[in-house]
Amino acid sequence: MERKHGHKLEDITQAYWRVASSYRIPTAPAQTVRQALETIHAADFLRPTDWRLAELMHTIKYDIIQGDNSWRSEEKRMVGSISILHTKN
């Protein structure tokens, strides 16, 4: 069975990456919620063997719907706790 053009695993993976980057990286290109959810809709074309990616897309979809940005505060706490190690040149 051949898949429709634009719904290959590579395309769906790139769709996830675009949305996740837009949501989680402040300097990434912005997307509206509508654009993000339409892009994430590509997950409907995943095979059952692609469950890991489907799970990631499910998570980002509900993070967007619920406005969950708790990861931002966790990330900021982590940045403050990083030790800088000096290395020899």
| 15 has pLDDT over 90 | yes
Q: Tens digit of pLDDT for each residue in 18-33?
A: 999 988 888 888 888 8
CA dist., res. 67 & res. 5, Å (int): 31
Find out whether 46 and 61 touch, Cβ atoms under 8 Å.
Answer: no
Q: Which of the pair, 53 or 2, is modelled with greater confidence? A: 53
- Decide: residue 24, CB within 10 A, 0-12 exposed, 13-18 middle, 19+ buried: middle
Domain boundaries, the chain: 9-80
pTM (2 d.p.) = 0.65
Q: Tens digit of pLDDT for each residue in 44-84?
A: 999 999 999 999 999 998 888 887 766 555 444 444 444 44
What amino acid occupies position 27?
T
| 36 has pLDDT over 70 | yes
